[in-house]
């Protein structure tokens, strides 16, 4: 009878209509029926990615799409600039080094956004850089980087791509791919797309596709030019994750019914502000200096630490995420991207109050609910 509430920044809860779609009988991936399904999903993904470019689908986790965005658009020995402001930003550097790139890694204090100046300086120091690789929302710290301004810097240069991991940003917070001139945006199914993990998405600009022609890394499974050609006909090169694509159709229907991308932005902005207001009303501080709309990272009181708070919430049936690496035990992260609503935030805050009370933290009881409700009903 203990209902579990998953409040992590991915996987995120799956709506009932999507669960039902996931339990449909399987269809064959080389049939007109599948091509129609796949193409309808591909069409409806474009406005969610804010692009006219095809949004390619890959059978992998988001990390596969990150790798593909390096191996398909760079050459051995190329220089790339990466932003390491958390665990996911560090992954860009690791992939680049694995493929023999010269990685210029901008290390940023966790919880902070990279400054546009730091990127501009790196680009000036490295005119040979073929790409700036970073996150729209660094999930490890719940922090938003200044995508639009960095894209503007890259736009002035003929051979530098702006490559954005939008795993926790697509369908969540503004990331206007075509309008801002972002060259590559990638994402994954288990975040705003409210599906199980295993389906990755990637879209690229004409500038990026031109650069792809000279990419020279060995590759086979993640061959984006081949996927681009094949997916135009409603099929993937390798076997599609058919079940997830059946589920994706149900997800896109929900997104369309709820106002499309504008509706998703309004929804996540509201949940983020409600969560932020709630935890701050308890005397807790946000870990991020530039909070993302996908999840909220909260500093635990020093005297308590994050561990007992996460455990206390878990005991009450609510799963939140902890911190990673050197912020483990110091922060906890409340996810609110995907299938969440105001009631989920209120429940989490009420339970957090209960936990903090039991742990001896001093605060005004009920304050988080009042603050959160004020945002939700505004």
Count of residues engaged in binding a copy of itself, rule: CB under 8 A: 52
Q: Per rule CB under 8 A, is residue 229 in the interface with a copy of itself?
A: no
101 token code pair: 């790139």
Q: At its nearest, how many Å lie between a copy of itself and the CB of residue 116?
A: 29
36-44, 53-61, 358-366, 369-377 -> range binding a copy of itself (CB under 8 A): 53-61
131-139, 207-215, 239-247, 275-283 -> range binding a copy of itself (CB under 8 A): 239-247
Which C-beta is closer to a copy of itself: that of 20 or that of 343? 20
Which C-beta is closer to a copy of itself: that of 26 or that of 378? 26
Of the candidate residues 35, 40, 47, 63, the single one contacting a copy of itself (CB under 8 A):
63
Q: At its nearest, how many Å lie between a copy of itself and the CB of residue 193?
A: 12
Whether residue 321 contacts residue 327, with contact meaning beta carbons closer than 8 Å, is answered with no
Q: Per rule CB under 8 A, is residue 98 in the interface with a copy of itself?
A: yes
Residue of 300, 301, 279 whose CA lies nearest to 369: 279
Q: Per rule CB under 8 A, is residue 198 in the interface with a copy of itself?
A: yes
Q: Per rule CB under 8 A, is residue 254 in the interface with a copy of itself?
A: no
Residues lying near a copy of itself in the complex (CB under 8 A) are found at 4, 6, 8, 10-14, 19-20, 22-29, 31, 59-64, 67, 94-95, 98-100, 188, 190, 195-199, 217-222, 238-244, 319
């Amino acid at each position: 009878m203990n209902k579990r509430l998953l409040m992590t920044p991915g996987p995120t809860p799956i709506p009932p209509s999507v669960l039902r779609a996931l339990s449909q009988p399987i269809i064959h991936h080389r049939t007109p029926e599948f091509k129609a399904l796949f193409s309808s999903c591909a069409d409806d993904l474009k406005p969610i990615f804010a692009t006219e470019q095809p949004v390619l689908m890959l059978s992998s986790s988001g990390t596969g799409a990150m790798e593909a965005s390096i191996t398909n658009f760079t050459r051995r020995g190329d220089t790339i600039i990466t932003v390491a402001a958390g665990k996911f930003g560090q992954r860009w550097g690791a992939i680049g080094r694995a493929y023999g790139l010269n990685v210029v890694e901008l290390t940023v204090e966790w919880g902070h956004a990279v400054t546009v100046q730091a990127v501009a300086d790196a680009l000036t120091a490295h005119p040979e850089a073929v790409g700036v690789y970073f996150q729209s929302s660094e999930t490890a710290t719940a922090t938003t980087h200044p995508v639009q301004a960095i894209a503007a810097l890259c736009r002035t240069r003929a051979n530098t791509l702006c490559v954005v991991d939008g795993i926790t940003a697509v369908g969540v917070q503004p990331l206007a791919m075509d309008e801002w001139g972002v060259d590559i945006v990638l994402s994954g199914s288990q975040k705003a797309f409210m599906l199980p993990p295993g389906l990755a998405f990637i879209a690229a600009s004409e500038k990026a596709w031109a650069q792809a022609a000279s990419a020279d890394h060995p590759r086979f499974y993640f061959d984006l030019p081949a996927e681009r050609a094949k997916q135009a006909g409603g099929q993937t090169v390798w076997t599609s994750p058919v079940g997830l694509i059946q589920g994706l159709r149900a997800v896109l229907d929900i997104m369309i019914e709820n106002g499309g991308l504008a509706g998703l932005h309004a929804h996540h902005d509201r949940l983020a502000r409600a969560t932020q207001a709630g935890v701050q009303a308890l005397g807790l501080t946000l870990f991020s200096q530039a909070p993302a709309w996908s999840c909220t990272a909260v500093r635990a009181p020093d005297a308590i630490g994050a561990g007992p708070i996460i455990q206390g919430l878990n005991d009450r049936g609510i799963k939140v995420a902890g911190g990673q690496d050197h912020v483990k035990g110091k922060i906890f992260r409340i996810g609110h991207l995907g299938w969440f609503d105001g009631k989920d935030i209120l429940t989490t805050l009420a339970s957090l109050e209960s936990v903090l009370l039991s742990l001896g933290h001093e605060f005004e009881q009920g304050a988080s609910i009042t603050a959160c409700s004020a945002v939700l009903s505004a």
